[in-house]
Amino acid sequence: MLELDNVSKTVDDQALLKRVSARVEAGELIGVLGPTGSGKTSLLRVIMGLDNIDGGEVRYQGTTLAKRGRQLVAPHSRGFSMVFESPQLLPFATVTTNILVGRRLGDAGAKERLSFVMDLVGLREVRDRVAHTLSGGEQQRVALARALFVEPKLLLLDEPFAALDRTWRETFVPRLRAYLEERGTAAILVTHDREEALAFGHRIFLVRAGELVRTGSAAEIYGRPRDEWEARLLGECNVLSGDVARKTFAAHLQSEAVMIRPENIVLTSDDTELGNATLVDASFRGPHWTVMARTDDGVELLVRVVGEMPLQSGARVRLGLRRPDYAVELERREERERLEEFERLGEGEK
C-alpha cells in the first residue's frame, strides 16, 4: 500500500504539488487526469524517488521512502518501475537487450517472462531489431515491456501510450489492465486521454494546479462531477445555469447550475422537462451521432444518438432525460474551496 501524506514540491517558487494526500491499495489501478502543468508527472516522480519533496512523506507498506529533502530508500531499491513519455532506450541496442537492460536470463522463468511480455506488447516480430530503427509506437512498447519484465510492485505510467495509434491502444489497455489485475500489481497511469483513464482505473485522481481535488470511481466522477471544471474534464457535457437552470429544473434545483451528459438526453415525442427544440447540426462519430439542438428558449444542447439518424437539420423535436437524476447539480467551486479550507484548518487544530 502506497501512502502520500501532505506531500509538497516546489521548484523556483512554483508549487508543483500542494499538500497531496492519497492512498493506493495493493493491486489498485489509478488513472490520473488534469490539465497540462497541473502536477501529474511531478506526482509520479516523487513516488519513484526521482525528485525530493519539500514537505510531507511518501510511504510504502509502512516504510517511509522519502521525507522533506531526503530520499530514505533509493529509487532502484523500491521495486517500482516507471515508463516515461519519452521511451529512453539504448538506440543501437536490440529490442531484447533494451528490455533486459543488463539483466541476464539465467534465473528461473526469465526466458518465459521475456517471451510473455513481448507477446503482451506485440514485439515478437521485431525482437532483434535495434531501437533507433523502430517507430515511435514500437519504441514506447519496448519501454512498457522493460518495465513489466521486472515484475514491479508498483507500475508508474507517464503518458505511456501517447505514441501509439488509437486502434492499438483500444485493444492493449484492456489487456494490460487484465494482466495487472491477475498479478495483483498496483499501477498509476497519468494521461491526458480521459477515455483511457476511465477505462484503466479502478479509481480516478483529478489534479489541478498541484492539488489532488477529487478521487473516486470512474463511474462516480464521470456521472457525478461536483463542479463544471470536473464535468468538462471528464467529457462532453451540457451545463445549464442561472435563470435557464431554475426555469427548467425549478422543482428540485438547489444550486446555480445543472450538468447533463449528451448520452442522457433523448429525442422524444413525450412531454418532457427539456421541451421543444430545433436540430441545428448532426455529426457522425462512428458508434454514435453527436447532435446539436437549440431549445425554444435559445439554449444549445449536445445530444448523443446511437443508431440511425433519420432527422435533418431544421427538424423539430422534443428533448427529454433518460432519468430525472441524470441532471446533476453542480457546486460553485469557490464556495466549496472555502469550505474545504475551513475543514483543513479545523483538522489542524485537533
Instruction: Give the neighbor-by-neighbor strand order of the sheet with 70-71.
Output: 14-24, 2-11, 55-60, 63-67, 70-71
For residue range 161-196, what is the model confidence (pLDDT) as tens digits?
888 888 888 889 999 999 999 999 999 999 989 999
Which CATH fold topology does 229-330 show? Answer: OB fold (Dihydrolipoamide Acetyltransferase, E2P) (2.40.50)
pLDDT for 101 equals: 84
Question: What is the reported pLDDT for 214?
Answer: 95
| Confidence category of residue 252, pLDDT binned at 50, 70, 90 | low
One-letter amino acid at 131 equals: A
How buried is 342 (Cβ within 10 angstroms: 0-12 exposed, 13-18 middle, 19+ buried)?
exposed
Are 239 and 328 in contact by the 8 Å Cβ rule? The answer is no
- The mean pLDDT value of the chain amounts to 88
pLDDT for the residue 349? 47
Residue 250 three-state SS: coil
Domain residue extents for the chain: 2-227, 229-330
pLDDT above 90 covers a percentage of the chain that reads: 62
Supply the pLDDT for residue 350: 43
Please write the tens of the pLDDT for every residue from 65-98: 999 989 999 999 999 999 998 888 999 999 999 9
Contact 258, 240 (CB under 8 A): yes
The answer to whether the pTM exceeds 0.95 is no
Sheet holding 257-260, edge to edge: 238-241, 257-260, 328-330
Least confident range from 47-61, 216-230, 310-324: namely 310-324
CATH of domain 2-227: 3.40.50.300
pLDDT computed for residue 244 by the predictor:
72
Provide the percentage of residues in the chain whose pLDDT is more than 70: 89
Position 347 pLDDT exceeds 60: no
